[in-house]
Amino acid sequence: MSKFVSVNLLQRVIVALIGIPLLLWLNGGGGLLFFSFFSLLALLAVFEFHRLARQKAQPPSLWVVLLITLLFQLDFYLHYVEEWELLLAVVLGLMVMELFLKEGSPLLNLGSVFPGLLYVNLTFGSLLRLRLESVHENGKIMVFLLFFCVWGADIFAYFGGSTLGGKFIHRKLFERLSPNKTWEGFLCGLAGSVTAALVYGSFVPQLSMKKVLLTGVLIGLASPAGDLIESMFKRDAGVKDSSGLIPGHGGVLDRFDTIMFVSPFIYVITFYL
């Protein structure tokens, strides 16, 4: 068991050493490269969700959901039509397609594909808009802050939970869906997110302390939710990881679940508060 943990940790460190500079570089440049990378992640995430859905139902063909995802991400980037118009077209189109399918239950088939399509596209779409609709560089700055808070929460929760888990609060955080998560890990993650926000904010004077603290606290509180939601779907589908794409992490849904979940909230904080 200890050998597995050490190998898993080594894989995580290697991925972090490659992935963190890549994400920082992409956010610094923005534009087409940022769009292309996160659109690819959205396509991979929808592929993984389709894989989960197939364990319980007969969702629309993979090429259909990938095409819909590409259209959504292109619209978030180019903003040709309003998102609600595209969403309405997708919902009606998938319902009409279901008329011609002969396998499975229409309720299960459509119900299995809509959550993944909406969740993946709207969350990654929020991240795209947050970065690409920058107002006086605020979008880029807030994406950096989002990344640092998520990483701070993950690192503190991982090591804090491993070291302190169960020693002070003798009850798991959400044992039904994720038996390894502890309250100690959650509180350490919250502290890590707030610490990362304060450190980052000290180097970026144009960010108000209110926005910095609100972002740090919100990401710290919400971090487990993204993971638990994905765990809920994986447990129902009977799989351990959404895929094996990222060594030591699983798939895109496993690695980016928190970034996806908090992106819409950070978009609101950035442009409306």
Q: What are φ and ψ of residue 173, in 5° steps? A: -65, -50
Average pLDDT on 15-20 reads 89
pLDDT at 3 over 60: no
Residue 6's pLDDT band (cuts 50, 70, 90):
low
The token duo for 204 is 């970026």
**Rounded alpha-carbon distances, angstroms, from residue 15 to 180, 212, 246, 265:** 22, 27, 8, 27
> If we measure between CA atoms, which residue out of 14, 233, 22 comes closest to residue 113?
233
Residue 159's pLDDT band (cuts 50, 70, 90):
confident
The token duo for 157 is 């929760």
Q: What are φ and ψ of residue 39, in 5° steps? A: -70, -40
- Which residue blocks in 30-61 are alpha helix, DSSP H? 31-53
pTM for the full model? 0.91
Write out the H or E segment, with its range, that includes residue 181. strand 178-182
Residues 199-217: pLDDT tens digits?
A: 999 999 888 899 999 999 9
Residues 100-138: pLDDT tens digits?
A: 877 788 899 999 899 899 999 999 999 999 998 766 568
